[in-house]
Amino acid sequence: MRLSRPSPYPRPISTAAPAIWKYDDVCDFVREAGDLITAEEAERRVLILENPALRGQSCITPSLYAGLQVILPGEVAPAHRHSQSALRLVLDGEGAYTAVDGERTTMKRGDFIITPSWTWHDHGNLGDEPVVWLDGLDIPTVRFFEAGFAEKSEHKSQTPQREEGDSLARYGSNMVPVDFYQQPSDPTKVFVYPYRETRRSLEKISRGTADDHFGFKLRFVNPATGASPMPTIGAFAQWLPQGFKSRPARCTDGTVYVCLEGGGQAVIEGETHDFTVNDVFVVPSWKALELNAAEDTVLFSYSDRPVQQMLGLWREARL
């Protein structure tokens, strides 16, 4: 028993460290995993991107997980569901699909695909080359609350119940079914955000005036509510014009970034990290970030911002 409570810090002190994973350095390990273990043995064959300051915890920030998953031609990652919410960002290869609650989507590079909490999902590769994507999950958040459940399906793959693109047409075209209503905390029914659409929007707005801190940055939303696609994970897309140098900014949501096009430098608390296509880097909570674009650059990012905003904890500072 203690007679006093711990004193709060005057500002956030993150247990995570800034870090970068160069895709050219890790892609061979990802592909080697395909030779060492089968999809059946692993169920999900993933190279975990573990924050160097959080050894043994399988997380990239204290609240988020990141990993690179590979699926080989002809393989199926069997259907299951779990309490954790997940996102996929396709990085390399063609021919794979993801199925969510009875609907498949063909995975194309840059596509942002989600599997909301407790939805059945499986993956398969009908092509002739390995496909690699980034997995982002709220595993540490669910672990903190000790609220995780998981269930395997009796069937390896889901039987398609709707045509590909049905959910996008039904919920993602500025319309929803006449009797459909959602709470802001509910996950979106749109489970794929095609990169071609994301890029088209970014390129269109990039003809305007860039924000000094973010360039041209958009957040993904549930079209039916305007809230985050998932209640625990927020996702963003960002266009940095060639030569753009951002002013420093910091926020309380530790954020994972992925370079989809271009390249440049991320300066995190004065430490410079060079990045290029498919590189992944993490900016911990309340660490100042500056971005310098060597060429036209597109960044995808995700964080736990929706949770922090829901709890009234989220803050940012534009310096």
How much is the average pLDDT of 291-309?
Answer: 98
- Domain membership flag for residue 12: no
- Domain membership flag for residue 2: no
Q: What percent of the chain has pLDDT over 90?
A: 86
| Beta-bridge mates of residue 249 | 289, 318
Angstrom distance (rounded) from CA 247 to CA 230 = 29
Quote the Cα angle for 121-125-129, to 5°.
145
Residue 4 has pLDDT above 80, yes or no: no
Which pLDDT does position 277 carry in this prediction?
98
Which pLDDT does position 3 carry in this prediction?
64
Contact 254, 285 (CB under 8 A): yes
Residue 189 has pLDDT above 90, yes or no: yes
- Measured CA to CA in angstroms, residue 165 lies from 50, 181, 182, 202, 206 at distances of 34, 20, 20, 22, 28
- pLDDT tens for 192-210 read 999 999 999 999 999 999 9
Give the domain extent around 232.
19-318
Secondary structure class of 170 (helix, strand, coil): helix
Secondary structure class of 36 (helix, strand, coil): helix
How much is the average pLDDT of 252-275?
Answer: 98
- Domain membership flag for residue 163: yes
Residue 317: count other Cβ atoms within 10 Å of its Cβ.
13
- Domain membership flag for residue 218: yes
- pLDDT tens for 50-80 read 999 999 999 999 999 999 999 999 999 899 9
Residue 268 has pLDDT above 90, yes or no: yes
- Domain membership flag for residue 7: no
- Domain membership flag for residue 9: no
- Domain membership flag for residue 244: yes
Q: What percent of the chain has pLDDT over 70?
A: 97
- Domain membership flag for residue 107: yes
Instruction: Give the H/E segment covering residue 266.
Output: strand 263-268
- Measured CA to CA in angstroms, residue 246 lies from 53, 111, 239, 255, 295 at distances of 27, 26, 12, 17, 14
CATH number assigned to the domain comprising residue 165: 2.60.120.10
Sheet holding 255-261, edge to edge: 19-21, 280-283, 255-261, 297-303, 234-240, 216-219
- Reported confidence tier of residue 33, pLDDT bands at 50, 70, 90: confident
Task: Count structural domains, the chain.
Answer: 1
